[in-house]
Structure 1
Amino acid sequence: MLQRFIDSFSRAVAGEMESMRQRLGPYEIPVAEGEQLDSDEDEGRFVFRFRLQQANDKLVQGGECNLITERSDDLVSVISIDGDQVVLTGSRPIELTAGRATLVIYPWFLYERLQQALRDLDEKEGFHTDTALALFGKAPARQLRGDDLAFLPDSLNESQRRAVALCGRTTPAFVWGPPGTGKTTTLGYIILSLLRRGQRVLVTSTTNAAVDQALGSLTALDDGRAAIDRGHVVRLGQTRADTHGAGLRQVVDRLYVETRDHIDRLERRRSSMLNQLAAGKVLLVEMEASAPAAQLGLFELSTVAEVDRGRLVDLFSEANARRLAETPLGQQRACVERRLARLDKATRLCVEKTQRLRSGLRHRESVVAAEARLVLATMTNVYMSSLMAGQRFDAVIVEEAGMAILPTLFYCSCLGEQRAIMVGDPQQLPPIVQSSEPFVQRAMGRSIFQITVPEPHVSDLVIMLDTQYRMHPQIGDLVGGLFYDGRLLHGEITGQTESIAASEPCPGSAIVVVDTDGRSTCGTPQGSYSRYNEEHAEIAVDMARQAVNGSAGSVAIIAPYVEQVRHIGRRLKANPALSDRVECRTVHRFQGGERDVVIFDTVDAEPLPPGRLLSGKTPSSSASNLINVSLSRARGKLIILADIGYFRRHDPAGIISQVLAAAQKTGTVVCP
């Protein structure tokens, strides 16, 4: 059975890689402040450090990429990523005069490494493949000893408490968290319950944002904060978010503060000596230029060259510089040359000592990661990072599990000896797969919920969190009725959602449908399939302006097409008052987020037929998921911009028509 999974997944990954090569280009990440840290010419090993100028989930420890500077293009490997610092190793020296460079990542490389990780499941020992087989429904679920849940606070609702209990007694366990139901809060208590019983836990997800949210859920709990302070929690990989002291370097720095302080002192000393060397070399050039004047002085009155004493102070003490300035030029130059030779030797010794200390810290990083009771990392880092090699856990928790591609999920679950816990929502965004080949879609494009619990309402392995605390009740009823069989309840929601609904546009309405009624057209740029609608873009920006002028603290415009996002984005940039307070993105960029006011622009209109992103006419369509995510980001006001008659004519039974019909019943319909 295991070999069948490995073969099928490997074949699917190969198909996806081919599709990526055809459709996607490389990712480029700008870096700056480059410097060489170490070199060994005999072994052909050179180490460099750069500052990342933007975060990117594709950059992972152990990955390979091209480092492009003004004069070279070199294949390098990522040694470590810590905050905005990345350390790379290459096979030859690289000229870093400008300090800036670009890292170029070919995304299919990550899948090449995934294929090797899948082969390791069969070729290497120590994997818990029975856990993965049970997760995928090919082995029976297991009942485990339950937890004492007396530590859970009264603030958790009944469904949240049952979710924590399920994860303690059953594997695999699925926590179904619809939008706004406190999924992240519940996850924090699940993690804490496992740590309390001495379990070693891996928390992973497809994105850094989801991993960071999981870490944040733990820091909100006193016992979780204490575990971080003791160095028992480690966040691996690159992130721009607050790691709350759990970043690997932060943990190592706390545990080995004297070594880190020593390195910092050496770095400052090295920097100072490099500045002195640079100043000294300039001074020698000036002395060479002064030599003819000094020679002339042999036949006149002066035998001392005019050298700026301030330049000597850069290399010598004030007293020594004053005495040296009164000596002949040749003696001055000899003293400067001796000083530079000593500085050069001291700099090299400083670098060597720093390298030894850094090497020791890297070893300690491995020790800290291996001894952590809780490790948080993206799924890519789980199979790519050398720090994860050989690590095993009692429990593996996957956040946003519905978005995880199945081959990666299978591998990660093989690291857990006792438990596999899936946290997510099958009604929200599915895995992102480039290939349209049916076999690849089946092996990589479905969610684990579809595989193991296709009827989650009746499965003993699933607990649905049933009380939402985010959306205005009218919006919550719309989302709950369309996507959750009317099972969503409303918790105690602050009056803020009512105040947002009472504000512009359409004061008093939490749901607004703007019906363009045949007064817009939809098009595509030449050579592209993405769509835009100029009339809709204008209306969306005007609605956002009204919301900003009202009481909305945050406004989102969500569109299914990148081209429409570009059109709206240009209009927002032209209005500084809006550009800082209104975000416009595709739905994938808003997963897990929320805003006071959401404007959902459907874009589609004549003369084009409805696009596949909204029509849902194919078996593999994710239209329902995309629309659900778009609607459920709204806290107090949801504005849907659509041509109602157009969808009624072209897709009367589709999900978008169902949404518009339901919204018309409970909301306000306006025509621009």
Structure 2
Amino acid sequence: MMNDYSIKEFLSFKGKDDKQERRDLADTVFSWTLKDIFNRNLYKNKIQKIPKIFPSFEEYVTYFTIPLMEETRADMCSALEGFSHASYIEICRLDHAKDNSYKISVANPVKETNSRENYVPKEADIVILSKDKPKHISELSRNGWRYTVAIISKGGKDGAMSDNDAIIRVPHAFSFDLHLSTNRLNEPLFAVFLFNILTNNRIWKMLDFNSFGSSTIIQKGVMENKMLSASIVQSVPNKDFVNAFSRWNLNDSQMNAIIDCASAREQLASSLKLIWGPPGTGKTNTISMLLTLMLIKNCRTVTCAPTNTAVVEVASRLLRLVEDSSDLFQSDIVLFGNKDRMRIDGNLSKIFLEDRARRLLECFMPHTGIRYCISSMIDILNNCERHYELYINDLKRKDEERRVLELGDQLRRVSIMGDQCREVMEDDLFGEAIEMSREVMDDKCTQLVADDVGGGGELMSLSEYVKTRFDALAKDLKYFIEIFLDDFPRALISKKALGEMHDIQTLLHIMEDLLQHDSNADRMKMQLKIDVLSPPPITSIANLQDFITRKSFSFFHLVYARDLFLEKLELLSGQLSIPDKFDKHGIEEFVLQHVHSVLCTASSSFKLHGVDMKHRPLEVLVVDEAAQLKESESLIPLLLPGIKHVVLIGDEYQLPALVKSKGKETTDKHGKSLRNPIEAAAVVHIVKKLFKESVNLRQNLVVGVVSPYNAQVKLIQEKLGKTYDLHDGFKVKVRSIDGFQGGEEDIIIFSTVRSNSTGSIGFLSNINRTNVALTRAKHCLYIIGNATTLSKSDSVWQKIVFDAKNRSCLFKSEDDKDLQNAIIRAVIEQDELEDIINFDSLHISSPKPKGFNKSGSRGKKKN
């Protein structure tokens, strides 16, 4: 077991030349024995009360070290308690990389719904390597083979490796039986997933104060106790503020909060601001409008939240505000994180870092990107006849090569036939036949080549060739210019280059129209020559369009358009500043260095510590759902270089930070999270009805299904399947309460799960959890549950049930025959026939919504 230290001992230890111990949290995990992991008192005497003021920043961060170790131990203990239900995958191949690291190749995941053999290795996963599939924790050391704990250093999706490959690190070398030539395992070896320590490992690294500097904000708060007041300071809005506010429908509280936060940036001193408000008071809108104002002020901000849901919600609203403004650009915003967990859709793909880097990579490539496209367009317009000659010669060459190959093939066949006929033919007759065959083949080949080149249907005329080449290059040029306008940091594009791009977009359409309506090759030769005699040149698109309009057809239409188009292309080519970045990582770093607004989770902001921003550091940190963020995790964005101003947004009545230690979640007799199949059936039925109503009214609708238990979330997801995935106007999102923190949907269906005669509702009695669950709906809220259980709970749910009855919003499930049948089918599937006998216990509430208006009214359902 790793040695434990008090705060003073740890500070003394840090002074020694022994930093390897803290370089990676996995080293601590590796040091634990099974006894250590299951010892809930392992760090009991090591954790000290955290004071309000600290003598130094070093001591402040050190106070979080042992609690973080305890939380990691608790996570691992919880994972091992559910070892028999853990996901796993078989390791097929194992190659030694370096030291105690190995490259592994795993089998394809089993796609069956009930299979646990579906684990896909991801960075920072803690796994157990075992010769047996996970059955019981006691089997880890069976037959004398000790288990080995390992960490995934890099998963297939984290780098250039395939999805089935990964790099693992183990605490020490271990023995395994390999085939010498293929490195394939001769005996079974499984990787059993326990839990992921990516966030904890990032926090661990931030607590290493020798690697990261201090923060002025933290120094004022935890060392000097001089935090700025969280009260609103009235400020006189400047011109930029007034122009922005005129476009937004803000109440006084929102306006004052935004003015206060924005004004603080104008001061030299660092500042900390707090925006507080209960659910439904517009905190998320306030954040998005504050960020919009920061964009107007060209201020570099980073916006974080503890969950992907909250970050995506802010990003979506900010993007909508930017798209509605003619003065702001989406290229100044970037969102990054786990694409799958964020569920990035088509619209958010516009600002998602990974997608933006992919598009810019296409644009930057030297032999296929925008520079190549511009130079190729200039070349074809200046030298169309030379290119046409090269085209003909290339066609001849390729055709001759093809004919020679065909002739050789036919000669080989003739030779074979000759060998077969040699026995029955005279030698002189045989030679004569061969010679005649060759002459015929030569004549045929020559004629075929002449036919193709001389008008056999494959050869394009000059005008056709120019149009074809122009259309292909124009398509690429349009695409690359759009990428530049939408994805390239706007601060790096000069106003002149921006103007040239817009002019080129217009001229491309003009040129396409002119080339389309002129098929005379001789005239095109003259029009595309540089030295054509013409009237005084046209120097603007407006003059060109006026000339084309006045002259219904003129020899000089294409001449003028081509000259102006070439001029604009030459100017843009000289003004483009494209970085020498030809890999995804380099382009991502380039984008992060220059965009104005960065959005990510607090944990993911660790990526920004590796980006050089000395030329223009981030200034303002905005933290949404701050009450849900652990203080130690908040260090990740707070310690970003350059941060001078911090804005915290939250509500202390929502979910607090989740820290696992001695307590554990309520489970059923099988050790699984609770679920209620009858409520799941009710949810599926209601979603089905909402879908039909949405289709009939031709109105887009997003339905959120929320439950406090992960098992219920999974059950509902299984029941819904992919039924609504292909319907663009109707979406269903099923998540836990924690997963919905910070998000809102049109309609929310809340499945409470608990159903018993004692009124026990577990952690559903927590007012913070209830607060989050009941405030996610924009227009309509359904609550599905056992009214008797909820009313006996001696919690806020008594008042909720009472209120539903008073407003006539409490209904029995049997009032809806279709719903009643759906529930009966669910009962039969679960073989719980006693529930049919006691059917009066099943209730449903809430009037059925007749259409989805935006009045803001809420309905409630309880069963």
Question: The TM-score by the shorter chain falls in which range?
Answer: 0.5 to 0.7
Tell me, yes or no, if structure 1 residue 19 matches structure 2 residue 74. Answer: yes
CA distance in 2, matches of 1:546, 1:251: 38
Distance between the aligned counterparts of 1:228 and 1:562, measured in 2?
41
Query: Which residue, out of 291, 299, 309, partners 1:199?
Result: 299
Structure 2 partner of 1:420: 646
CA contact (8 A) 1:402 1:429 kept: yes
Corresponding residue for residue 215 of structure 2: 128
Quote the Cα distance in structure 2 between the aligned partners of 1:45 and 1:530. 35
| 1:657 alignment partner in structure 2 | 798
1:397 equivalent in alignment to 2:601: no
Query: For residues 732 and 583 of structure 2, what CA distance do their matches in structure 1 show?
Result: 47
Q: Supply the distance in 2 between the matched residues of 1:187 and 1:574 (Cα, whole angstroms).
A: 34
Cα drift, residue 18 of structure 1: 0.6
Give the 5 Å matches for 1:167-566. 167-170=261-264, 171-222=271-322, 229=329, 231-239=331-339, 240-241=344-345, 242-243=347-348, 245-248=350-353, 258-260=363-365, 262=367, 318-325=402-409, 362-384=585-607, 387-388=610-611, 392-415=617-640, 417-436=643-662, 525-528=668-671, 530-544=673-687, 547=690, 553-566=701-714
Indicate which of 141, 154, 161 corresponds to 1:77: 154
The amino acid of 1:13's aligned partner reads: L
| Aligned with residue 250 of structure 2, among 148, 151, 156 | 156
Query: Structure 1 residues 404 and 260, CA, compared in 2 at 3 Å: closer, same or farther?
Result: farther
CA shift for structure 1 position 324: 4.7
Q: Which amino acid letter does the alignment assign opposite residue 604 of structure 2?
A: N
Higher alpha-carbon deviation: 562-571 or 361-370: 562-571
Q: Kindly provide the CA deviation profile for residues 388-421 of structure 1, in whole angstroms up to 9, marking residues without a partner as x.
A: 4777421111122232222111331232532111
Change (3 A) 1:537 1:220: closer
| Structure 2 Cα separation of the partners of residues 235 and 124 of structure 1 | 26
2:260 to 150, 166, 172: 166
Q: 1:632 to 1:412 in 2, by over 3 A?
A: same
Q: 2:644 is matched by which residue type in structure 1?
A: Q
Tell me the SS of whatever aligns to 1:221.
helix
Give the Cα separation in 1 of the matches to 2:659 and 2:706.
21
Identity of aligned residues (%): 19
* 8 Å Cα contact 1:61/1:384 also seen in 2: no
SS of residue matched to 1:422? strand
**Partner of 1:606 in structure 2?**
756
Q: Distance in 2 between matches of 1:322 and 1:74?
A: 59
2:759 and 2:334 mapped to 1: Cα distance? 50
Match 1:112 to one of 201, 226, 229: 201
Which residue is equivalent to 2:739? 589
Q: Deviations over 1:547-571 (max 9, x none)?
A: 5565694544433223444555565
CA displacement, residues 419-451 of structure 1 (integer Å, 9 cap, x when unaligned): 11112333333323332469xx9xxxxxxxxxx
Distance across 1 between alignment mates of 2:725 and 2:354: 40
Asked if the contact 1:593–1:633 (Cα under 8 Å) also holds between the matched residues in 2, the reply is yes
* CA spacing shift, 1:94–1:243, aligned 2, 3 Å: farther
Say if 1:59 and 1:105, in contact at 8 Å, map to a contact too: no
Pair 200,665 (structure 1): closer, same or farther in 2 beyond 3 Å: same
How far apart are the structure 2 equivalents of 1:126 and 1:200?
A: 20
Deviations 1:84-113 (A, max 9, x none): 9999985999999xxxx9997941243123
Q: Secondary structure at the match of 1:234?
A: strand
**1:202 Cα deviation (Å)?**
1.1
More strand by share: 1
Partner Cα separation in structure 2 for residue 393 and residue 668 of structure 1: 50
**3-state SS, counterpart of residue 531 of structure 1:** coil
Q: Any idea what the Cα deviations from partners look like across 1:53-100, whole Å, max 9, x if unmatched?
A: 99xxx99998678999xxxx9954379969x9999985999999xxxx
Which blocks of at least 5 consecutive residues in structure 1 are unaligned? Answer: 31-39, 266-313, 330-355, 442-522, 616-622
CA distance in 1, matches of 2:199, 2:327: 32
| SS at 1:190 equivalent | helix
- Residue aligning to 1:468: none
State the match for 2:395 in structure 1: none
Shift of 1:165: 1.4
Distance 1:639 1:581 in 2: 17
How far did residue 172 of structure 1 move? 1.6
Which has the bigger relative contact order, CA under 8 A and spacing at least 6?
Answer: 1
For the Cα contact (< 8 Å) 1:202–1:396, is it kept in 2?
A: yes
In structure 2, do the counterparts of structure 1 residues 22 and 74 end up closer, same or farther at CA, with 3 Å as the change threshold? closer
Change (3 A) 1:102 1:24: closer
Structure 1 range deviating more: 8-17 or 215-224: 215-224
Matched position secondary structure for 1:130: helix
Query: Could you tell me which amino acid in structure 2 is paired with residue 110 of structure 1?
Result: T
Q: For 1:91 and 1:20, how far apart are their aligned partners in 2?
A: 20
Contact 1:211/1:378 (8 A) holds in 2: yes
Which AA in structure 1 matches 2:632?
P
Aligned counterparts of 2:255 and 2:411: Cα–Cα separation in 1 = 84
Which of 208, 214, 225 in structure 2 is aligned with 1:138? 225
Number of residue-to-residue matches in the alignment: 479
- Three-state SS of the structure 1 residue aligned to 2:644 is strand
What TM-score, normalized to structure 2? Answer: 0.46
Instruction: Identify if the C-alpha distance between structure 1 residues 197 and 80 changes in structure 2 by more than 3 Å, giving closer, same or farther.
Output: farther
**Partner Cα distance (1:603, 1:572) in 2:** 17
User: Are the aligned partners of 2:751 and 2:785 in contact in 1 as well (CA < 8 Å)?
Assistant: yes
